[in-house]
Amino acid sequence: MVVKVGVLSLQGDFAKHHRILEVLGMEPVNVRYPRQLDGVEGLIIPGGESTTMTKLIRRNHFFEPLIEFGKSNPVMGTCAGLILMATEVPDARVNPLGLLDITVERNAYGRQVHSFTDALKVSVNQHHTRIPATFIRAPKITALGDGVRVVAVYRDEPVAVQQDKHIGLAFHPELDDVPFFHNILFGSQTNTLIQDQPDRIHAA
C-alpha cells in the first residue's frame, strides 16, 4: 500500500513537498478542502505566508478539521507551517492550531536580505544526519512545553522540534531536497533511505 500524504495547498511552496514524497515512494495529495483529510494518513503544512494561510483556513472552515486530524495523524510544518502548528504566536494576524506546545515568533531573523542557508546537525529517534537548511524570513521558537523534544539547534536556538506524532521546522527541507524528515514522519522507521545527506552548502 502506497502511503498517501496530504499537503495543505491553500498557498505556498506545496509543490516542492510533492517531489520529496514521490522520491520516497509516497503519494502526495493536494488538500484544498477539509473533506480531503479523510483520504490521507499524514499532512504537511508547507512554507508560505502564515497570515494568508490563516485567512484561507478560516474562510474555508479548515480550523477544527485540522486540529481533529492532528489528534490521530502525523503532521509536519515547515516555516509558516511551524507557525501554524504552534500553541502561541504573539501576533493577532495568525491563528495557530496548537498541534505543538511551543511559542513561535514570526520573521525573527529579519527581512529577506537576512535569509540564509547553513549546515545543521539533526537527531531524531536515534537517527543522526547533517543537512543543508534554508531559512527564509524564518520564525524562531521562543518557548517550549514539557512534551516537546528539540531535534536540531542552530546557534543555541531550537529550529526543529518533535512532539509525539508531529514535527515542526523553522527551515525548508523541501528547498534543499532533504527527505530525512518526510521519511521519518511518514515512512517506515526502518527505511534504509535514512542516511547522511551530502553537505551541499560547501560542495556547491
Partner 1 sequence: MDKGSFEVKVGLAEMLKGGVIMDVTTPEQAKIAEAAGAVAVMALERIPADIRKDGGIARMSDPSMIKSIQDAVSIPVMAKCRIGHFAEAQILEALEVDFIDESEVLTPADEANHIWKHDFKVPFVCGARDLGEALRRIGEGAAMIRTKGEAGSGNIVEAVRHMRLIQAQIKELTVMGQDTLMARAKELGAPFHVVQQVAKLGKLPVPNFAAGGIATPADASLMMQLGAESVFVGSGIFKSEDPAPRAESIVAAVTYYNDPEKLAEISTGLGSAMKGLDISEIPEGQLLQERGW
Q: How many residues bind partner 1 (CB under 8 A)?
A: 38
Residues 89-148 that bind partner 1 (CB under 8 A): 91, 93, 106-107, 110-118, 134, 136-137
Whether 50 and 94 have beta carbons less than 8 Å apart is answered as yes
Q: How far is CA 20 from CA 42, 150, 182, 185, in A?
A: 14, 23, 8, 13
Binder of partner 1 out of 7, 43, 76, 80 (CB under 8 A): 80
Beta bridge partners, 4, equal 27
Shortest distance in whole angstroms from residue 95 CB to partner 1 = 13
Note if 172 is an active site residue.
Answer: yes
56 backbone dihedrals φ, ψ, rounded to 5°: -75, -30
Q: Could you give the CA distance from residue 15 to residue 46 in angstroms, rounded to a whole number?
A: 9
Of 17, 79, 166, 182, which residue is the catalytic one? 79
**Residue 49 is a catalytic residue:** no
Binders of partner 1 among residues 59 to 78 (CB under 8 A) are 59
Out of 41, 49, 88, 101, point to the residue binding partner 1 (CB under 8 A).
49
Which residues inside 143-202 make contact with partner 1, applying CB under 8 A?
172, 175, 201
Does residue 16 bind partner 1 (CB under 8 A)?
yes
Least distance from partner 1 to the Cβ atom of residue 45, Å: 13
Which among 42, 12, 38 has a CA at the least distance from the CA of 27? 42
Task: Give the dihedral of Cα atoms 172, 64, 102, 104; nearest 10 deg.
Answer: 60
Residue of 3, 11, 101, 153 that binds partner 1 (CB under 8 A): 11
**86 in contact with partner 1 (CB under 8 A):** no
Q: Which residues contact 124 (CB under 8 A, 6 or more apart)?
A: 151, 162, 167, 180, 181, 184
**Nearest of 64, 60, 97, 92 to residue 81 by alpha carbon:** 97
CB of 36 to partner 1, least distance (A): 12
**103 Cβ contact list (under 8 Å, min separation 6):** 86, 87, 88, 89, 90, 141, 142, 143
Q: Which of 17, 166, 172, 182 is catalytic?
A: 172
For the annotated catalytic residues, the residue numbers are 79, 172, 174
Binding site for partner 1 (CB under 8 A): 9-16, 32, 47-49, 51-52, 55-56, 59, 79-80, 91, 93, 106-107, 110-118, 134, 136-137, 172, 175, 201
